[in-house]
Amino acid sequence: MTTPLARQMSVRAVMETLMRAGPISRAELARVTGLSKQTASEVVRDLEANGWVRERGQTQGLVGRSATTYELDVSRAYVLGVDLGGTKVHVALADLAGAIAAEEIEATDKRGGQHVVEQIAALTSRAAARAGADPRRIRAGAMGSPGVFQPGSGRINIAPNIPNLDRIDVVQALRDRLGFAVAVENDVNLAAVGERWRGCCRDASTFAFVALGTGIGMGLMADGKLIRGARGAAGEIAYLPLGGDPFDSRGYRLGTLETAIGSVAILERFRGLGGEGVEDVRGVFDRLVDGDPAARTTIDEVARLLAQALMAVRALLDPELVVLGGSIGSRPELVERVRALMAGFMAEPLRVEASPLGGRAALLGAVGTALSTLYDAVFGLTGLPGDQAREDAPAAAVTAA
């Protein structure tokens, strides 16, 4: 008699093969998975009956006999990825293969709290309509947010640009409003997941993702797992005692390093050096291209402080590489300067790469985390079959109907 555990292992083997190999016959499934032909046929029959697998076509056998091929029905279920920021909310609906079916984006509701939850629900409905997907087929979600997520209370702390997230149970509010579980994670952590799944870290198990823009944050991956810390605050690189006096109360709110090299600090530094005529950091980089000495000195100093921070990361984590992201961190002018500093002051220079995913890293990390949760809950799959990532996504309640 087949035990429940053996059955689950058989389903997992078949699903992994279908996701990796695409359309395949039952006989070939048995050969690839090592299952008996009877077991492989029974699993396929059950998966087909439940709508997870469908017939694709016929293949010609070696002796002229045709065989039915099967594939995953990628529209059987969807997952939701959310990138919640202080200025915008970006949602994406993806099918079972991880392909983005629809996206929606708009400015973040400045009232924050429950108003943002309602906004995410409205964007999700619009994305489902755009994709032509039944909203009831959205089975799991994940959201990246600034700040520090508190698993016990479901609240998000230290997210000053989105008020009132520390006053509500965000996880429960999203579940009540959407009808399915949404895992919440720090946005930079999810960006690290995105880089491992679809970015430049597919072959790296230990790396750091550093995002520099309005502020600075870091996601740490060690041996394929996120490092969250005892209170979920691992990677809060903004509070490194670099670039200023760590005991100066003016740096308590945002952190010493962020106060020194965040977007506000860059503008202030540029203007303090006599720079004029720019309204944002993009303008400083434009002046850098034009050869403006104030811009050059400003970006040189930002690179120097960032390189110091990465040296500290190297000493503590010994990562295979560091990925620089964010609107400022991924600028090639900055990346080149950081690389040069690393080469000049380290015997074995730390590999530094610009994020190939740009501003989509956290969104894709959210989609990947939601997929991992769905696969694990329904099929007992750990991580994302067919990909390098094996992320330990927070569990979500998903009914295997």
DSSP 134-169: -GGGEEEEEEEESSEEETTTTEEES-TTSTTTTSS-
* Winning range, highest mean pLDDT, from 27-41, 140-154, 267-281: 267-281
Are 185 and 96 part of one and the same domain?
yes
Q: What is the pLDDT of residue 397?
A: 30
Are 265 and 230 part of one and the same domain?
yes
Q: Is residue 184 part of a domain?
A: yes
Are 167 and 24 part of one and the same domain?
no
Q: Is residue 174 part of a domain?
A: yes
Cα–Cα nearest to 217, from 149, 296, 164: 149
Q: Is residue 401 part of a domain?
A: no
Q: Is residue 386 part of a domain?
A: no
Query: Among 187-196, 224-233, 329-338, 359-368, which stretch is predicted with the lowest mean pLDDT?
Result: 224-233
Q: What is the pLDDT of residue 3?
A: 67
**66's tokens:** 């045709």
- Residue 150's beta-bridge partner residues? 155
Domain boundary residue among 29, 55, 72? Answer: 72
Cβ–Cβ < 8 Å for 139, 398: yes
Are 250 and 287 part of one and the same domain?
yes
Q: Alpha helix locations (H) across 78-112?
A: none
Mean pLDDT of 217-227: 94
Q: What is the pLDDT of residue 2?
A: 58
- Does 386 have pLDDT greater than 60? no
Q: How many residues does the chain have?
A: 401
E-strand stretches of 309-379:
321-325, 352-354
Q: Is residue 126 part of a domain?
A: yes
Query: Among 6-10, 286-290, 366-370, which stretch is predicted with the lowest mean pLDDT?
Result: 6-10
Q: Is residue 256 part of a domain?
A: yes
The enclosing H or E element of 198 equals: helix 187-198
d(CA 65, CA 264): 70
Are 206 and 347 part of one and the same domain?
yes
Cβ–Cβ < 8 Å for 56, 71: yes
Q: What is the pLDDT of residue 347?
A: 77
Are 113 and 217 part of one and the same domain?
no
- Does 6 have pLDDT greater than 90? no
Antiparallel, parallel or unpaired: β 225-226 and 182-186:
unpaired
Are 215 and 322 part of one and the same domain?
yes
Mean pLDDT of 284-312: 96
Mean pLDDT of 45-70: 79
Are 176 and 209 part of one and the same domain?
no
- Does 379 have pLDDT greater than 80? no
Q: Give the CATH number of the domain where residue 287 resides.
A: 3.30.420.40
d(CA 82, CA 120): 8
Cβ–Cβ < 8 Å for 391, 193: yes
d(CA 401, CA 49): 11
Cβ–Cβ < 8 Å for 238, 227: no
Q: What is the pLDDT of residue 64?
A: 58
Cα–Cα nearest to 18, from 385, 389, 391, 377: 385
- Does 60 have pLDDT greater than 70? no
- The greatest distance separating any two alpha carbons of the chain, rounded to the nearest whole angstrom, comes to 82
Find the domain containing 33 and state its range: 4-72
Q: What is the pLDDT of residues 102-133, one digit of tens each?
A: 999 999 999 999 999 999 999 999 999 999 99
Are 327 and 217 part of one and the same domain?
yes
Split at pLDDT 50, 70, 90, the class of 17 is confident
Give Cα 66 to chain centroid, integer Å: 43
Mean pLDDT of 219-230: 92
Mean pLDDT of 57-84: 83
C-alpha dihedral (195, 199, 202, 206), degrees to nearest 10: -40
Number of domains in the chain: 3
Split at pLDDT 50, 70, 90, the class of 20 is confident
C-alpha dihedral (234, 386, 388, 91), degrees to nearest 10: -40
Q: Is residue 254 part of a domain?
A: yes
d(CA 255, CA 318): 23
Q: What is the pLDDT of residue 62?
A: 54
Are 169 and 41 part of one and the same domain?
no
Mean pLDDT of 256-276: 95
- Does 241 have pLDDT greater than 70? yes
d(CA 284, CA 294): 9
- Residue 231's beta-bridge partner residues? none
Are 18 and 108 part of one and the same domain?
no
Q: Mean pLDDT of all residues in the chain?
A: 88
Q: Is residue 35 part of a domain?
A: yes
Cβ–Cβ < 8 Å for 102, 137: no
- Does 97 have pLDDT greater than 50? yes
d(CA 393, CA 399): 17
Are 264 and 212 part of one and the same domain?
yes
